[in-house]
Structure 1
Amino acid sequence: MSWQHFKQHYLIKFWSPFPAVIAAGILSTYYFGLTGTFWAVTGEFTRWGGQLLQLMGVQAQEWGYFKLIHLEGTPLTRIDGRMIIGMFAGCFAAALWANNVKLRLPQHRIRIIQAVVGGIIAGFGARLAMGCNLAAFFTGIPQFSLHAWFFAIATAIGSWAGARFTLLPLFRIPVKLQKVSSASPLTQNLAQARRRFRLGMLVFIGAVGWALLTAMEMPKLGLAMLFGVGFGLLIERAQICFTSAFRDMWITGRTHMAKAIIFGMAASAIGIFSYVQLGAEPKIMWAGPNAVIGGLLFGFGIVLAGGCETGWMYRAVEGQVHYWWVGLGNVIGSTILAYFWDDLSPALATSWDKVNLLAAFGPLGGLLVTYLLLLAALLFVIAWEKRFFRASRPAVSHAVKESV
């Protein structure tokens, strides 16, 4: 295989979401096994909000939530922080390889409002549930935590409500028609594309080199950054967005991404199970109302904003300004939750049990229950897809008859 063929097919073209999501599931398994934590982002973003408050003189370190998730250190000295730095580097490198970096402003001010408000709601909900689409869903379910199932179901319901809400006339942007004499030719500045590809390689090599140098003195931090680069490459090249998975299923009936996510979790679960049998401790959170309420808010918020945590990260580095606002909203929302945590947590979270399915049903029983639940989720997605398109056929046929 020539370099040009490899470059075109594996670095420039988008990757198929199905194998990419499965690869992300497998990568997250090794990330857990080697670093002792799971692939998650909103917890670190919440720390960023807390440390910004500290710079303004607020004693955020005294808040109960920050005592729980630990505010010590900086993004450079925390595993999650280094992983997220790696993710941004991986996303940026991948976007540059494909010449997919361009400053794109929101089309209307209503989109900015959606981005900020939706981001705040999603950030608040994610941290109330102790995790976003990653820690309380994609990597939470393979950790055998019951709270992740509560969150996943609630997120699906919340995303359905968000999809219906965003179809209201309020969110429809007027289309401006412009008279033209001829079609615009599709062109690409090849010199610019080559420059950006080289810059992308420099970003990639620089991030990997930084991670390897760090690993020589602090192995876990270096490994976290390397994994982050891998996660970033996967989500940008395959355009992995959990918001799209839920929203597309409800609005267009497309379920390809939803199925990929289920198979990704199935691939991850057996790996996590193996590590747990070797003595690793899974991350189990409270299976209380916080997971349900948080999931409802998160599902609604990500659809209103137009992107989840993984979605806004790679789109932001591609130059889509809308998602800068989503990211800001996420940090604000998660920090607001941290402020109110001491008032909310006794009733909604900390007085409820942390249910580990492996402990509740036994090791093999917990694994079996997890796979049966994933199978049920897959069957539901398939049934919904068939129902959606079966219901749409009569409408299409009727429209054709009317036109004739």
Structure 2
Amino acid sequence: MTWRRIRQDYLIRFWAPLPSIIAAGVLSAFYFGITGTFWAVTGEFTRWGGHVLQAFGLHPENWSYFKVIGLHGAPWTRIDGVMVLGMFAGSLSAALWANNVKLRFPRRRRRIVQALVGGAIAGFGARLAMGCNLAAFFTGIPQFSLHAWLFALSTIVGSYFGTRVALLRFLKAEPRLERVAAGQKSALPARQPRWQFRIGVAVFAAALAASLALAFGAEKLGLAAAFGIAFGVLIERAQICFTSAFRDMWITGRTTTARAIVLGMAASTIGIFSYVQLGVAPKIFWAGPNAIIGGVMFGFGIVVAGGCETGWMYRAMEGQVHYWWVGVGNILGGTLIAALWDRVAPVLVLDYPKVNLLNALGPMGGLIATYAGLVIAFALLLWWEKTFLDRAQTRTLRQTEPGSAI
């Protein structure tokens, strides 16, 4: 196989979602076992908000919320921080390889407001529940935390209502039609310009070199950065976005990506279970109303904003300015819940238990219960797709019957 063919098939074309999402699940299990933490991003984004407040002379490090999640050091000295920076570098590299980086501005100003508001609601909900699409779906459920199940189910409910709002006329994107003369050739270049690819290679090499340099001083930091790069490449090349999965489920009935996510969680679960049996402690959070309320807010927010945590990150690196504002909203929402934590936590969070299914049901019981839940989720997705498409087909047949327009 020639280099041109390899480049076209693996660096320019998008990757199939199913194997990519399963690979992300396997990588997240290794990431947990090696670093002792989970693949998550909203906690780090909230810390970034804390650093901004510190720059203005405030002391959020004394807030109760930051005592829970920590605000020590800088992003490049924390495991979560270097992992997130690695994700941005990996996403940018992958987008450059495919000549997919181009500044794209929202056509209407209201889209910026939509991005900020939706992103803030999602960030607030994620940090209220101590989860997001990564920290709950990909790592919380595989780490056998009951709070993640509550959050995941609530996120699906919230995404339904978010879809209803996003479909309102004043929020819909307006397609732009252009007149093209018959036989007119495409304005797109016949060949991909090489400069983006070369810059992508340089960014990727620099990111790997930085992770290697970190590893010499602190092994886990270097490994976390390397994992982040891999996660970033995966989410951009496979266009992994939970928002799209939920939105497709409600609008078209298609559940292909949602089912792939369930299989990715299944792959992650057995790996994390093995590490837990070897003594790596899972991250378990409060299974209270905060998980349910936060999940609904998160699901609603990501659909209104147009992107989840993985979705806005790789799209922002592709130059889609709308998603820069989604990221700003995420940081604002996470920082707001940190400021309100002492008022909210006593009512919605702290009086509720941290339920580890492996402790509550025993190691095998927790593992079986988790896989049973994933099997049920997979079956329900198949049922929903069949039911939705059957109903759509029935409506189409009725509309085409003679006299149906009378």
Aligned match of 2:265 = 265
Match of 2:244 in 1: 244
The farther-off stretch of 170-179 and 193-202 is 170-179
Describe the SS at the equivalent of 2:77. coil
Deviations 1:30-56 (A, max 9, x none): 000001100000000000001100101
Query: Which segment is superposed worse, 305-314 or 164-173?
Result: 164-173
3-state SS of paired residue (2:127): helix
The unaligned stretches of length 5 or more in structure 1 are none
Matching residue of 1:104:
104
Q: CA deviation at 1:193?
A: 2.5
Residue-by-residue CA offset, 1:240-297 (whole Å, 9 max, x unaligned): 0011111110111111110000000000000000000000100100000000000000
Contact 1:33–1:280 under 8 Å retained in 2: yes
**Are 1:205 and 2:172 matched, yes or no?**
no
What's the counterpart of residue 309 of structure 1? Answer: 309
Partner of 2:170: 170
How far is 1:5 from its partner? 1.5
* 2:350 aligned partner: 350
Q: Is the 8 A contact 2:46 2:335 kept in 1?
A: yes
Distance 1:176 1:2, change over 3 A: closer
Matched with 2:324 is 324
Contact 1:129 1:136 in 2 (8 A): no
Counterparts in 2 of 1:247 and 1:287: CA distance versus 1, 3 Å: same
Please say if residues 63 and 338 of structure 2, whose CA atoms lie closer than 8 Å, have aligned partners that are also in contact.
Answer: yes
Which residue number in structure 2 is paired with residue 151 of structure 1?
Answer: 151
Given that residues 98 and 193 in structure 1 are in contact (C-alpha distance below 8 angstroms), is that contact kept between their aligned partners in structure 2?
Answer: no
SS in 2 for 1:25: helix
How far is 1:57 from its partner? 1.1
Q: Superposed, which structure 2 residues align to 1:274-289 within 5 Å? A: 274-289=274-289
Q: Deviations over 1:129-159 (max 9, x none)?
A: 0011111222110000000000000000000
Unaligned runs of 5+ in 2: none
Q: Give the Cα separation in 1 of the matches to 2:349 and 2:192.
A: 52
CA distance 1:137–1:216, shift in 2 (3 Å): same
The 1-side partners of 2:173 and 2:279 are apart by 54
> What residue number does 1:80 align with?
80
**What code does the residue aligned with 1:15 have?**
W
- CA shift in 2, pair 1:98/1:163, >3 Å: same
Please list, as runs of the form range in 1=range in 2, the aligned pairs for 1:359-378 lying within 5 A after superposition. Answer: 359-378=359-378
Q: Which digits, 9 at most, give the CA deviation of each residue in 1:331-351, with x for residues without a partner?
A: 000000000001101111111
Alpha-carbon separation, structure 2, partners of 1:289 and 1:319: 37
Corresponding residue number in structure 2 for 1:5: 5
2:349 is paired with a residue whose SS is helix
Which range moves more in the overlay, 394-403 or 80-89? 394-403
Which runs of structure 1 show a deviation greater than 2 angstroms over 4 or more consecutive aligned residues?
A: 172-193, 398-404
Q: Aligned in 2, Cα 1:232/1:157: closer, same or farther, shift over 3 Å?
A: same
Indicate the residue corresponding to 1:215 in structure 2: 215
Shift of 1:190: 6.3
Tell me the residue number matched to 2:90: 90
| Aligned residues with identical type, % of pairs | 61
What is the identity, as a one-letter code, of the residue corresponding to 2:43?
Answer: G
Give the Å deviation of 1:216. 1.3
TM-score using structure 2 length: 0.97
Partners of 1:183 and 1:362 in 2: CA distance: 69
Deviates more, 1:351-360 or 1:160-169: 160-169
Count of aligned residue pairs for this structure pair: 404
